[in-house]
């Protein structure tokens, strides 16, 4: 494995808005304050993304502030029927959404255009409350609590080549999920499900492409999950790859996503291969559905393919133990942004 640098405690940015150090940690050890950002213009990107799901159903919640525009989004998934439905709102604003500087403290209270989001910290849990006036012509509401397990998170701080540009990211897997959502008069309980958080704050370059994969579930009764990805700035100091198994976390080496091609284009619904350079990870990803979007607003462009499916293969622990993976539900995505 290539050398991985662990972050130390202290501020994230220096007085010039540069990353003081790049690397990874198991928790949000660096202190970020958007007031320390020195890059002028509309480059700061902030988002909280939650995914909650099991083998049959899922739901995704996004609240993002891209400096000049905001996005609120809810997607529900039915993996048995291979269907999904997204309802979202987007608005242009330079005032910002007052997103918290930390993933550990600070609540989000958002209420615009018939969308109400509350992401709260209560009783050592995360409580997610969402209300939408019209979701498929009916009122939508959600109330879910997420409880974190030990050793199930990863933080990375990565620079971009451009001065003052960086990404600070906290991912949490395998959160116990309890609650329900309602569409009209129909209640959908959330059972046997796990929650995932993707918390991101950073000054991004205009044009970039990232790859991200995440899974959380049980394998033979054992809590098992992973976070894999690249394209989030310069990851030479630390990858954002981590494997979670039976209450412990294991740092992984660099990962490559092999997406099949058809007529010289990515064939997202055929089998992917995700593997590491050191052969400690080999996963076959069998897609079920592709949540895709192609937003093109002249200078702003985003092409997203978040593909849900099942992973099978293996992960080798540092001591040589081989953990077999069988039909672990999760997703893998490729996102290209000009923003």
Q: Which residues contact 220 (CB under 8 A, 6 or more apart)?
A: none
Asked if 20 contacts 9 with a C-beta cutoff of 8 angstroms, the reply is: no
Token pair for 21:
């150090």
Residue 265 DSSP code: E
Asked if 59 contacts 188 with a C-beta cutoff of 8 angstroms, the reply is: no
pTM for the model: 0.97
Per-residue pLDDT of the chain (339 residues; tens, 9 = 90+): 667 999 999 999 999 999 999 999 999 999 999 999 999 878 899 999 999 999 999 999 999 998 888 999 999 999 999 999 999 999 887 778 999 999 999 999 999 999 999 999 999 999 999 999 999 999 999 999 999 999 999 999 999 999 999 999 999 999 999 999 999 999 999 999 999 999 999 999 999 999 999 999 999 999 999 999 999 999 999 899 999 999 999 999 899 999 999 999 999 999 999 999 889 999 999 999 999 988 776 567 889 999 999 999 999 999 999 999 999 999 999 999 988
Token pair for 254:
């660099």
What pLDDT was estimated at residue 183?
A: 97
Kindly report the number of other CB atoms within 10 A of residue 164's CB atom.
Answer: 17
CA distance 1 to 20: 24
CA distance 213 to 328: 12
The CA-CA-CA angle for residues 284, 244, 233, to 5°, reads 75
């Amino acid at each position: 494995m290539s050398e991985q640098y662990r972050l130390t405690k202290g501020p994230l940015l220096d007085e010039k808005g540069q990353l003081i150090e790049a690397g990874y940690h198991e928790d949000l050890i660096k202190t970020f304050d958007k007031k320390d950002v020195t890059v002028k213009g509309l480059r700061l990107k902030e988002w909280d993304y939650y995914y909650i799901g099991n083998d049959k159903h899922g739901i995704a919640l996004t609240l993002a502030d891209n400096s000049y525009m905001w996005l609120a989004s809810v997607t529900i998934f039915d993996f048995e029927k291979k269907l999904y439905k997204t309802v979202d709102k987007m608005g242009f604003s330079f005032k910002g959404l007052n997103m918290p500087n930390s993933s550990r403290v600070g609540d989000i209270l958002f209420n615009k255009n018939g969308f109400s989001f509350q992401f709260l910290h209560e009783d050592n849990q995360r409580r997610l409350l969402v209300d939408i006036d019209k979701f498929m012509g009916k009122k939508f509401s959600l109330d879910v609590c997420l409880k974190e397990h030990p050793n199930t998170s990863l933080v990375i701080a990565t620079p971009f080549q451009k001065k003052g540009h960086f990404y600070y990211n906290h991912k949490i897997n395998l959160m116990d999920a309890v609650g329900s959502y309602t569409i009209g008069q129909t209640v959908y309980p959330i059972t046997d499900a796990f929650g995932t958080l993707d918390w991101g704050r950073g000054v991004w370059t205009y044009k970039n492409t990232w790859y991200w994969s995440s899974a959380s579930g049980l394998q033979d009764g054992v809590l098992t999950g992973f976070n894999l990805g690249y394209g989030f700035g310069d990851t030479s100091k630390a990858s954002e790859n981590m494997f979670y198994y039976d209450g412990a976390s294991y740092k992984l080496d660099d990962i490559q996503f092999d997406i099949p091609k058809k007529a010289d284009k990515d064939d997202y619904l055929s089998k992917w291969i995700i593997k590491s350079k050191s052969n400690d990870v080999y996963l076959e990803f069998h897609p079920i559905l592709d949540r895709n979007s192609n937003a093109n607003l002249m200078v702003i462009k985003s092409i997203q393919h978040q593909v849900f499916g099942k992973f099978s293969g293996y992960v080798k622990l540092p001591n040589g133990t081989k953990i077999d993976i069988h039909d672990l539900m999760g997703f893998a995505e490729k996102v290209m942004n000009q923003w």
